[in-house]
């Protein structure tokens, strides 16, 4: 079964939210194994393509570590970086990670919930 994360914005200041986003994304990506990070990079490219977001050049993404990936993502799609990251984790079958992204943010009046993703046509 496939799920799509629906996400409701924060009520705190945008500077604080951006800082928290970056820290949580960085910590989450740094916790991935080398093999998982490789898979994340490939699926990230595909997800950007699907969402019609500005592509990250593979030459920059291919050897990037977690911190560099976060920087590249934020430069390309800003606040959508969290949503994109969550979709990639779902595609990786790491359903534990999307929830862990938002666990520390509950204190900031942020909510994340999952809905069934519409089937894709082949």
Domain ranges for the chain, please list them: 13-116
pLDDT value of position 37? 94
> Which band of pLDDT confidence, cut at 50, 70 and 90, is reported for residue 72?
very high
- Cα 118 to chain centroid distance, Å, stands at 19
pLDDT value of position 119? 53
Nearest CA to 61 among 50, 52, 48, 79? 48
Reported as a single tens digit per residue, the pLDDT across 104-113 is 544 444 444 4
- Element at 115 (helix H, strand E): strand 111-116
CATH class of 13-116: mainly alpha
Instruction: Give the residue-averaged pLDDT of 97-103.
Output: 62
């Amino acid at each position: 079964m496939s799920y799509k994360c629906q996400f409701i914005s924060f009520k705190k200041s945008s500077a604080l939210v951006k800082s928290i986003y970056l820290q949580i994304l960085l910590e989450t990506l740094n916790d991935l194994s080398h093999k998982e990070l490789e898979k994340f990079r490939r699926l990230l490219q595909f997800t950007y393509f699907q969402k019609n977001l500005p592509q990250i050049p593979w030459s920059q993404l291919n050897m990037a570590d977690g911190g560099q990936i976060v920087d590249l993502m934020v430069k390309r799609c800003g606040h959508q970086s969290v949503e994109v990251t969550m979709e990639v984790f779902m595609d990786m079958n790491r359903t534990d990670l999307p929830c862990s992204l938002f666990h520390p943010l509950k204190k900031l009046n942020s909510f994340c919930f999952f809905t069934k993703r519409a089937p894709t046509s082949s």
